[in-house]
């Protein structure tokens, strides 16, 4: 097996009542100021575990200044490891990072970044890790805190944590890997590569089960391999052949089994598929396009669905909403966020025989927003339960009647196409 190594580089491309609840404070996916990942690895000739901490900060978060024909940024990083009660400082490392770019356009990039790594030898236990970054030019400070269980590797077979890989290259005959610290796979089209290590006390045959689950635990991918591993540390590289990934949250698992199936070790990794500028409530692209029916024309919806692959469909979807942006000079697209907030609200509150966004109440709510007044009549004598929604600014009342008695409210007065999305 080829020797594997991690390569750190600067990437240069990549009654009187309102129906609704309050608008979420943060409707869009907003990436953090910086990304970090903490991973357990076997440390030979020691009773400790090696904890690797990767820190990735986008160029857009640090300030560059002109330095000759280059643009330079400097920032300081400190990583502090505390006991699980946050009372005792176990260890700490501080260092400086310098970034030099020749292309000014990269200095504001959100997708290009600087990447660094520090390793700690720690006894197996639960710790709290605090990361602080200070930009030396702007004096801005970014910080984050996370808990980590440092695991033991004294078993006959032990598996490290998983590193997601964003790229690789060859150098001096060795395979060099670039970690995907953000764990965002929205732009990945060729599968999801991961690196991990298996420690074994002896030569043996094992079975490895690779899975991907959605956030509800549904299995989306499964693959099995048989491997012969050597005594000591074994470096493993595998690519999940999982493509055209829908927007949302996922978990990948690696299950290592002894040949007779008596021993089992499973390690997991959360990852995401999220696009900056797309509302958090959008998880299923095909359905999100169908849900545009109250705002888009049939030909506009068909155009998105007819994209040759998931990537093109997503790009057409985002472009449609970009053209609708009422404030293109701002970072957020308020119309985009509000439309899918209403979709989400309708699904949670108006679910009847159909999904909430397809119901009559959903249609009116998504198109016109929350009514100014709601009259509820659940127990009228000689009358089925009904609700009346009033919209003062268009001088209209809409009456919904529970036809079946099971909460299936139907609109009894016409809702014609003259009502535009508001």
**Per-position pLDDT tens, the chain of length 422:** 545 555 444 333 333 334 543 334 445 556 789 999 999 999 988 889 999 999 999 999 999 999 999 999 999 999 999 999 999 999 999 999 999 999 999 998 888 999 999 999 999 999 999 999 999 999 999 999 999 999 999 888 999 999 999 887 666 667 788 999 999 998 677 899 999 999 999 999 999 999 999 888 999 999 999 999 999 999 999 999 987 677 788 999 999 997 766 678 999 999 998 877 788 788 888 999 999 999 999 999 999 999 988 778 888 999 999 999 888 877 678 899 899 999 999 999 987 778 999 999 999 999 999 999 999 988 777 788 989 999 998 899 999 998 877 778 999 887 765 666 66
Q: Is residue 260 part of a domain?
A: yes
| Domain co-membership, 226 together with 367 | no
CA distance 317 to 285: 8
Q: Which of 245, 273, 301 is the last residue of a domain?
A: 273
Q: Backbone dihedral region of 261: left (phi > 0), alpha (psi from -120 to 50 degrees) or beta?
A: left
Q: What is the CATH number of the domain that holds 205?
A: 2.60.40.2550
Tokens of 215: 């956030």
160 in the same domain as 254: yes
In a domain, 243, yes or no: yes
Together in a domain, 249 and 301: no
In contact, 242 and 191? CB cutoff 8 Å: yes
In a domain, 257, yes or no: yes
pLDDT at residue number 8: 40
Within-domain flag for 232:
yes
Query: In sequence order, which residues have a C-beta less than 8 Å from that of residue 295 and are 6 or more positions away?
Result: 324, 339, 421
Number of C-beta neighbours around residue 85 at 10 A? 8
418 belongs to a structural domain: no
Q: Are residues 323 and 250 in the same domain?
A: no
Among 212, 239, 273, the domain boundary falls at 273
Q: Of 273, 305, 325, at which residue does a domain stop?
A: 273
What are the tens digits of pLDDT across the range 170-208? 666 677 889 999 999 986 778 999 999 999 999 999 999
Compute CA 39 distance to the chain's CA centroid, rounded to the nearest angstrom.
19
Choose among 360, 362, 359, 326: nearest CA to 345.
362
Domain check: are 236 and 296 in the same one? no
CA 83 to chain centroid: 29
In this structure, the answer to whether residues 330 and 218 fall within a common structural domain is no
Whether residue 219 sits in one domain with residue 321: no
pLDDT of residue 248: 82
Q: Are 226 and 121 in the same domain?
A: yes
The reply to whether 306 falls in a domain is yes
127-183 pLDDT, tens digit each = 999 999 999 999 999 999 999 999 999 888 999 999 999 887 666 667 788 999 999
Does residue 198 sit in the same domain as residue 227? yes
Both 260 and 329 in one domain: the answer is: no
Residue 228 shares a structural domain with residue 355:
no
Please count the structural domains in the chain: 2
Predicted local confidence at residue 22, as pLDDT = 33
220 part of a folded domain: yes
Domain that holds residue 344: 285-411
CA distance 18 to 349: 13
- 181 and 46 share one domain: yes
Q: What is the pLDDT of residue 417?
A: 58
Query: Is 181 within the bounds of a domain?
Result: yes
């Amino acid at each position: 097996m080829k020797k594997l190594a991690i390569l750190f580089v600067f990437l240069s491309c990549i009654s009187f009542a309102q129906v609704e609840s309050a608008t979420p404070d943060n409707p869009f996916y907003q990436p953090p100021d910086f990304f970090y990942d903490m991973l357990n690895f076997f440390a030979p000739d020691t009773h400790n575990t090696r904890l690797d901490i990767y820190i990735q900060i986008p160029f857009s978060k640090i300030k560059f200044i002109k330095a000759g024909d280059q643009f330079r940024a400097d920032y300081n990083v400190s990583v502090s490891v505390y006991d699980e009660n946050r009372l005792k400082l176990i260890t700490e490392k501080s260092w400086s990072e310098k970034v030099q770019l020749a292309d000014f356009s990269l200095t504001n990039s959100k997708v290009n970044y600087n990447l660094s790594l520090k390793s700690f030898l720690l006894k197996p236990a639960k710790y709290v890790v605090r990361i602080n970054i200070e930009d030396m030019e702007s004096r801005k400070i970014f910080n984050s805190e996370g808990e980590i269980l440092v695991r033991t590797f004294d078993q006959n077979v032990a598996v490290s944590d998983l590193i997601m890989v964003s790229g690789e290259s060859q150098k001096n005959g060795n395979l060099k890997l670039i970690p995907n610290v953000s764990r965002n796979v929205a732009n990945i089209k060729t599968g999801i590569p991961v690196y991990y290590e298996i420690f074994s006390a002896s030569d043996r045959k094992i079975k490895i089960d690779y899975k991907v689950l959605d956030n509800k635990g549904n299995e989306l991918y499964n693959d099995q391999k048989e491997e012969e591993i050597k005594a000591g540390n074994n470096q493993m590289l595998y690519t999940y052949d999982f493509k055209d990934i829908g927007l949302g949250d996922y978990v990948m698992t690696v299950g290592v089994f002894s040949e007779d199936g008596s021993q089992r070790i499973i390690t997991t990794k959360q990852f995401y598929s999220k696009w900056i500028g797309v509302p958090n409530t959008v998880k299923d692209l095909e359905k999100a396009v169908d849900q545009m029916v109250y705002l888009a024309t049939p030909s506009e919806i068909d155009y998105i669905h007819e994209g040759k692959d998931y990537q093109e469909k997503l790009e057409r979807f985002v472009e449609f909403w970009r053209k609708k942006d009422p404030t293109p000079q701002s970072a957020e697209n308020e119309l985009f966020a509000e439309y899918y907030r209403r979709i989400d609200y309708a699904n949670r509150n108006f679910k009847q025989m159909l999904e909430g966004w397809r119901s009559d109440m959903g249609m009116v709510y998504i198109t016109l927003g929350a009514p100014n007044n709601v009259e509820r009549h659940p127990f009228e004598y000689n009358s089925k339960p009904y609700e009346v929604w009033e919209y003062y600014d268009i001088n209209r009342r809409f009456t919904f009647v529970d036809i079946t008695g099971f909460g299936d409210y139907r609109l009894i007065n016409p809702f014609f196409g003259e009502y535009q999305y508001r």
